Amino acid sequence: MSLLHRRHGVRLALVGVLLAGAGAPTAAQGPAPPPPPAGPEGDAPPPPVGPDGEEPAGPAPVEKWLDFTGFWEARGGLRTRRDPHQKDASVGETRLHLDWEKPWQKVAFKVAADFIYDPVFDHHAVRLDSGQGWVDLRQANVTFSPAEAVDVKIGRQILTWGTGDLIFVNDLFPKDWQAFFIGRDVEYLKAPSDALKISVFTDLADLDVVYTPCFDADRNIRGRRLSYYNATGGRIVGRNAVLDADVPDQWFDDDEWAARLSRTVGGYELAAYGYWGRWKSPGGIDPVSARAIFPRLNTYGGSVRGPLGRGIVNVEAAWYDSRQDRAGGDPFVNNSQLRLLVGYEQDMPEIARDLTVGTQYYVEWMADYDDYRRTLRRASPRADERRHVLTFRITKLLMNQNLTLSLFAYYSPSDADAYLRPKVAYKIDDNWSVEAGGNIFLEKYDHTFFGQFHTNTNLYAALRHAF
C-alpha cells in the first residue's frame, strides 16, 4: 500500500475520533425559560415532590466536548558558522499546538496537532509520516480497557521506554533529530507512531506489546534544513545533495513489533526488551541505486534502574542483530552491535538548592570488526570498533523555580567530537514563558557523528503562551 494510503488512513482515524466526539449528546439551545411565579410572600414556590417524597433529579450536566488546551509559540534561530549549503536562519517558525482529550464512558479519545509556518523550510506540503508541512499530527488515538488488567491504545501516539537521558538503547520508536538539532522543545525529539499498544498488568510482571503495521522511520537529517557528511562524496553537503532514502512503506509487510516485560523488585525497576523491525535511521546503501536503505534489525536487551547512595543509577544494554549482515562482510549494511549504557543522577543540596547533576557512559561495540575492515570501501573513513560517549547534565532552578539554567553535553573521546546544549528558560506567569539556548557542535573530523554537524551550530530564542 502506498504512502498516500497510509496518510489517508491516519486522516480517517482522526475523522472517526472527531465524529465520535461530535455525536455525543449536548444540551439543546433555545430561549431561556421564564422564571417561576412568586409565592404569596414574594418567595419562589417550593420545589415539586415526587411520589416517594423525593425531589426529582435535575437535568444532567452539559459536557464540554470541544474543550482544547495548547499553546502558541514563536521560535527563531541563527547559525553561528558559515554553511554555503543552507540559509543563515536555522529556524523561524510560529506554531499553534492544540490538544483535545475526552473520556467518554469506558473510552478515551485524544487528538493533538501542531499548525506551523516556517519560511526557513521551503516545503509546506503536508506529509504526516515525516512531519513536513504546515500541520503535524502528533496524536490521534483511542484508549480503552477490554478487561480489568488490560489497556489498549490504537492510533497515532508518542511511544517511549528505556532508562537513558537523551540516549536511546532499547527505545526503537521514531525520533525527530531535525527538531532536536535546530532547538525545538525537547518534547519534539520523540516523533509519533501509528501503532497498536496493548498493556497487561499482573502481580508477577507488566507486559507492553506494540505493533506498528507500517515502518515508522526516524525523521532523519537529509540536507534540506541541516547539513551532513555524505560518505559517497566524502564531504559535507546540504541542500545541494539532499539524501535520497528508500523508506519501506508496505503495510503489514514492512511492519514492526516491540515488547517490554517489567516489574519492580526491592525498589529497583527491572525490564527486558525486544524489537523486530528495521534500523530507524539509514543503516546501509543500495549499491545499485546509491539510495540510503533501512535494513532489517532485531534487538534484545534489558535494564535496571534504582537507588544507589543518594542518587539514582541506571544500567541498560542491548544486542543489535543486523539481520541482513550477520557475518559482518557486507560493506553496504551496518554490522551488528552491542550497546551499553551506565548512568547516575543526584540532587546536590549540599552545594546549592535545586541543583541536579547527572552523567552517563555509553559505548557502541561493533561485531565482526575484522570483516568490516577487510570489506571497507577504499577512501572511506574507518569507524572505530568501539565508539565511546560521555554525557553530563547540570540543572539549576532559581527565583522560586521560575528560572531554569541547564546544560547537557555529549563528548566522544573516540570520535574527538562534542555536542553542547545550553538553555535558559523563564516562566513569566502561568501562561507566558521565554527561553534561549544553543546547539553547539565541536569537531576534529568531518565524518564523525557530531562532527559532521558543525556547520549547523546555532543559537535560538522562543516565546510561548499556554492556554
Split at pLDDT 50, 70, 90, the class of 49 is low
Do 269 and 280 touch, CB atoms closer than 8 A?
Answer: no
In a domain, 235, yes or no: yes
Identify the weakest region by mean pLDDT among 29-38, 62-71, 377-386. Answer: 29-38
Q: What is the mean pLDDT of residues 347-357?
A: 95
Alpha-carbon distance values, 302 to 199, 305, 316, 317, 400 (Å)? 18, 11, 6, 6, 39
Give the N- to C-terminal CA distance of the chain in Å, as an integer.
39
In a domain, 439, yes or no: no
pLDDT digits (tens, 9 = 90+) for 145-166: 999 999 999 999 999 999 999 9
pLDDT of residue 46: 55
Residue 360 class from Cβ within 10 Å (0-12 exposed, 13-18 middle, 19+ buried)? buried
Q: Which residue has the higher pLDDT, 330 or 43?
A: 330
C-alpha–C-alpha distance, residues 247 and 291, integer Å: 10
Give the range of the structural domain holding residue 354, as residue numbers without chain letter: 3-15+67-385
C-alpha–C-alpha distance, residues 299 and 194, integer Å: 20
pLDDT of residue 379: 79
In a domain, 137, yes or no: yes
In a domain, 458, yes or no: no
In a domain, 236, yes or no: yes
Question: Which CATH number does the domain housing residue 82 bear?
Answer: 2.40.160
Do 404 and 424 touch, CB atoms closer than 8 A?
Answer: yes
Do 423 and 440 touch, CB atoms closer than 8 A?
Answer: no
Residue 420 CA neighbour count, 13 Å, CB half: 14
In a domain, 52, yes or no: no
SS3 389: strand
User: Which residue, chain included where needed, has cell 496518510?
Assistant: 7
The helix (run of H) or strand (run of E) holding residue 345 is strand 337-347
Identify the weakest region by mean pLDDT among 67-71, 230-234, 429-433. Answer: 230-234
As a three-state string, the secondary structure of 207-254 is EEEEEECCCCCCECCCCCCCCEEECCCCEEECCCCCCCECCCCCCCCC
Percent of the chain with pLDDT over 90: 80
In a domain, 87, yes or no: yes
Q: What is the pTM of this model?
A: 0.85
pLDDT digits (tens, 9 = 90+) for 290-326: 999 999 999 999 999 999 999 999 999 999 999 999 9
Nearest C-alpha neighbor of 316 from the set 303, 306, 328: 303
Split at pLDDT 50, 70, 90, the class of 54 is low
In a domain, 377, yes or no: yes
Total number of domains in the chain: 1
